[in-house]
Amino acid sequence: MIPILDPHCPDAPFPDVELALREPDGLLALGGDLTSRRLINAYSHGIFPWYSAGQPILWWAPDPRTVLFPERLKVSRSLKKTLRKQLFEVSFDRAFDRVIAACAGPRSNEPGTWITAEMMAAYRSLHRQGIAHSVEVWRGDELAGGLYGLALGQVFFGESMFSRASDASKVALTRLAGAAMDWGYRLIDCQVYSEHLLSLGAELLPRSEFSRLLRKLVPEAPAAAWNNNQRHRPAIPGAT
């Protein structure tokens, strides 16, 4: 029996993540709402919403968890060439609304999107509160790629990325990893497994170990607040 969350009690605790289903992997609860308080509570405990239009809100805590330690980012030879050519300009929090809209757009390999209008409104609210952030990759005036997610304590919880040009989303991730190291973020949550993420240095952690890291890192303040300086060019681990 999947627990049903009361939409009128955004501060109510979530079920223990160890109670999540094995099949489908990580399904923990349904219902509730997407208020900022509920979302912050969820991410702080390693839980995220993921559902399609017409479904109730579904909350997930998969096991294992896909994460990236910023200093372990892998930069391929071809990506190093792209970075050296400086084909793109990168900014932070310059166009959050455009990034999340692009992430929600149709993709050739997917029939629909899980980023509903309700989800977009919720993360835009978090952005206005200084909790949700974006990385933008520009080719001239064109938004060529980017990603967005939440920053809580010393953890960046990645939500989605997109690319309209070769390597653009990879450039976004490498700049994020460099900024994370500069600003004192210790962990980037990538949520679920993909070969693409593992090729970039992401790894699988048991859910229990991920939860342990969150209990340690979320309460800690990063070395510096999220920096939206558009000219900042963080070092890229492994790019030399």
DSSP 16-71: PGGGS-TTTTTEEEEE----HHHHHHHHHTT-EE---TTSPPEEE--SSEEEE-GG
* Tens of pLDDT, residues 92-131: 999 999 999 999 986 555 544 679 999 999 999 999 999 9
Question: Which residue matches tokens 């991920």?
Answer: 210
> Among candidates 150, 163, 226, 219, which has minimal Cα distance to 191?
150
Q: Indicate the residue type of 233.
A: R
Question: Around Cβ 61, how many Cβ atoms within 10 Å?
Answer: 27
Taken in order 141, 68, 126, 2, is the CA torsion positive or negative?
positive
Taken in order 24, 34, 9, 128, is the CA torsion positive or negative?
positive
Q: What is the pTM (predicted TM-score) of this model?
A: 0.92
pLDDT at 45 over 50: yes
Higher local confidence (pLDDT), 160 or 231 = 160
| Contact present, 144 and 93 (Cβ < 8 Å) | no
The residues, ordered by sequence, that sit 6+ positions from 111 with a Cβ below 8 Å of its Cβ are none
What domains lie within the chain, and their CATH numbers?
Answer: 4-62 (3.30.70.3550), 66-217 (3.40.630.70)
* Tens of pLDDT, residues 184-197: 999 999 999 889 89
Distance (Å, whole) CA 233 – CA 169? 16
Q: What's the token pair of residue 18? A: 């160890």
The helix-helix angle for 168-183 and 77-85 (nearest 10°) equals 80
| Contact present, 64 and 26 (Cβ < 8 Å) | no
Question: Which residue matches tokens 């929090």?
Answer: 93
Q: Give percent of the chain with pLDDT exceeding 90.
A: 82
Say what the pLDDT of residue 105 is: 84
Distance (Å, whole) CA 24 – CA 22? 6
